[in-house]
Amino acid sequence: NAGVTQTPKFQVLKTGQSMTLQCAQDMNHEYMSWYRQDPGMGLRLIHYSVGAGITDQGEVPNGYNVSRSTTEDFPLRLLSAAPSQTSVYFCASSQTWGFEQYFGPGTRLTVT
Amino acid sequence: AQSVTQLDSQVPVFEEAPVELRCNYSSSVSVYLFWYVQYPNQGLQLLLKYLSGSTLVESINGFEAEFNKSQTSFHLRKPSVHISDTAEYFCAVSGLIQGAQKLVFGQGTRLTINP
């Protein structure tokens, strides 16, 4: 099993550009989440999904969109990048919501 | 509301010394507790968890944590650290809030091991 994979590993965007961060898992987990990690702030939940076709907002959803058309994939879209979105983004999946999560390797995004 | 506080943002220790990383939480409901470890340039991985039963839980690489309900703490300890333990450690708490299981992470503690 590859577990949770994320692409790209690094990305630099200019303010106003849009892009999609990809996330896939091969563990047949129903639950998937996107977090951002900023120094001194731990991990903050952006959006999550409890199954294909069902998504919801987390703690910091503004400026991000998600969709979940399959169990395996959970892409995160930045609609119009801003410098405040410079961060490391982690995708995670879990068998049961709120319990053990399996994290991807992360995407380091810089917005200039 | 549910929250997690990791009392130290950075902890430097010498190799083979003992270490304790402190974690306190606040919650009005029963909780499950986790410690995750993040090695440099990697994602987080589960180190250990408390769900029920014995309040002392152990990991395969020598870490242990004790759930203390009265002090609402879940401190992580290791009697003798190794250079390879250099990483960031995150405490997390999961509780049932308004019918949904809610997972909250602490701010992280960066553990640096000096030779």
Q: Which of B31, B36, B44 to mutate to test the interface with A (most CBs of A within 10 A)?
A: B44
Which pLDDT score is estimated for A8? 96
At residue B51, φ and ψ (nearest 5 deg) are -110, -45
Q: Do A43 and B90 touch (CB under 8 A)?
A: yes
pLDDT in tens, B61-108: 899 999 998 999 999 999 999 999 999 999 999 887 766 777 889 999
How many Å is the Cα radius of gyration of chain B?
14
Q: For B35, name the nearest residue in chain A, comparing CA atoms only.
A: A100
Q: Collect the ranges in chain A with pLDDT lower than 70.
A: none
Which pLDDT score is estimated for B66? 94
| Residue B25, both tokens | 């939480």
Q: Kindly state the average pLDDT of the residues B4-11.
A: 94
HSE-CB at B78 with a 13 A cutoff on CA atoms is 25
| Residue A56, both tokens | 């919801």
Chains A, B: CB contacts within 8 A come to: 50
* B113 pLDDT above the threshold of 90: yes
Q: Do B103 and A41 touch (CB under 8 A)?
A: no
Bridging pattern class, strands B3-6 and A19-25: unpaired
Which pLDDT score is estimated for A99? 78
